[in-house]
């Protein structure tokens, strides 16, 4: 629920910032599909969380190191809004100036996605297909083999009652 509200707000923000493509995606995927999928997953899992005792020290160390590395790397980011940033000086300029002449397509995003960077988009389509195949492989396995989770669920019910 919170995720859906968050996604809808972000989608509105994107729309205000004139990023129609991203806003459309965020509203459809973030607010719509992922909410439905989270609900579908919630319908599959047992109702009560299994309590884990104690703390996982190695995991804490890994998380701290990763976080510190990310913060350290963020100091190297270009200054926000600087006109000399790589995003403004490299191919972006070529696209804004020549897309209409090259393609005759008013929507620059579509031209870059489908024509200039077509192989990337093909890779994305393959990734999406692979994700579907992965979910299919995981969830179409027979249920009977997963005895443990079934007994867990019954014991959960017992403890709840």
Residues 40-99 that bind other proteins (CB under 8 A): 40-41, 43-44
Question: What is the rounded distance in angstroms from the CA atom of residue 90 to the CA atom of residue 118?
Answer: 19
* 7, 26, 27, 37, 81 from 12: Cα distances, Å: 9, 9, 8, 22, 22
Residue carrying the six token digits 């999406």:
128
Convert residues 114-143 into a mask of x (bound to other proteins by CB under 8 A) and - (unbound).
xx--xx-xx-xxx-xx-xx--xx--xx-xx
Question: What is the rounded distance in angstroms from the CA atom of residue 89 to the CA atom of residue 98?
Answer: 15
By CB under 8 A, name the one of 5, 12, 13, 28 that touches other proteins: 28
Nearer to other proteins, 71 or 143 (CB): 143
Shortest reach from residue 112's CB to other proteins, in Å: 10
Q: How many residues does the chain have?
A: 161
- Is residue 153 a contact residue for other proteins (CB under 8 A)? yes
Taking a C-beta distance cutoff of 8 angstroms, is the pair 99, 112 a contact? Answer: yes
Residues that bind other proteins (CB under 8 A): 20-21, 23-25, 28-29, 32-33, 36-37, 40-41, 43-44, 102-107, 109-111, 113-115, 118-119, 121-122, 124-126, 128-129, 131-132, 135-136, 139-140, 142-144, 150, 153
């Amino acid at each position: 629920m919170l995720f859906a509200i968050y996604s809808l707000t972000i989608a509105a923000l994107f729309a205000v910032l004139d990023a129609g493509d991203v806003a459309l995606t965020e509203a459809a995927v973030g607010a719509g599909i992922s909410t439905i999928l989270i609900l579908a997953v919630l319908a599959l899992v047992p109702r009560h969380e299994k309590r884990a005792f104690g703390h996982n020290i190695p995991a804490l160390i890994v998380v701290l190191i990763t976080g510190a590395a990310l913060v350290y790397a963020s100091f190297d980011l270009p200054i926000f809004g600087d006109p000399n940033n790589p995003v403004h000086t490299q191919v972006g300029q070529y696209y804004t100036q020549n897309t209409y002449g090259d393609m005759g397509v008013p929507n620059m995003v579509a031209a870059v996605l489908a024509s200039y960077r077509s192989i990337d988009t093909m890779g994305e389509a393959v990734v999406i297909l692979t994700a579907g195949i992965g979910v299919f492989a995981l969830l179409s396995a027979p249920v009977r083999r997963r005895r443990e989770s079934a007994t867990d669920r019954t014991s959960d019910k017992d403890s709840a009652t």
